[in-house]
Amino acid sequence: MKTKPVLTLDDVNLLLDAAEQEATTNDWAVTIAVADDGGHLLGLRRLDGAPPFSAGVAGEKARNAAIGRKDTQAFEDMINNGRTAFVTAPMQALLAGGVPVIVDGQVAGSIGISGVKPDQDVQVAKAAVAALA
């Protein structure tokens, strides 16, 4: 039987805290979502001033990074580079800002950020994942 890494509650809180720290350091109002490897929500934090719709978008970014096993930037790039048929894929929020948490070559979970520019969402997500390492 195979074993796999999973995110603990402590890991989820560390990701949420690290993402919040990166966002507040830059004065960015975002929503932070953390999901397990199946894309199921484990934690959500909407910072003061973050748009209400960002909660749903952050969750979908986290979900897509987990089940897609890659940064959601790859999906956005695919569409922007001409594979427009991909917009009909049964996924929502195919936008930059979702990053998988990879441990020992396996996806243990993911984080999704929404509320600011795409590169800023990615910066917050990657700072959180780096803090977990």
Per residue in 10-33, pLDDT tens?
Answer: 999 999 999 999 999 999 999 999
Given this model, what pLDDT does residue 93 score?
67
Greatest distance between any 2 Cα atoms in the chain: 46
**What is the average pLDDT across 96-102?**
95
Architecture of domain 9-132: 2-Layer Sandwich (3.30)
> What is the bridge-based pairing of β-strands 41-46 and 106-114?
unpaired
Given this model, what pLDDT does residue 133 score?
83
Show the CA angle centred on residue 64, arms to residues 58 and 66, nearest 5°. Answer: 105
Give the start-to-end residue ranges of the domains of the chain. 9-132
Q: Give percent of the chain with pLDDT exceeding 90.
A: 79
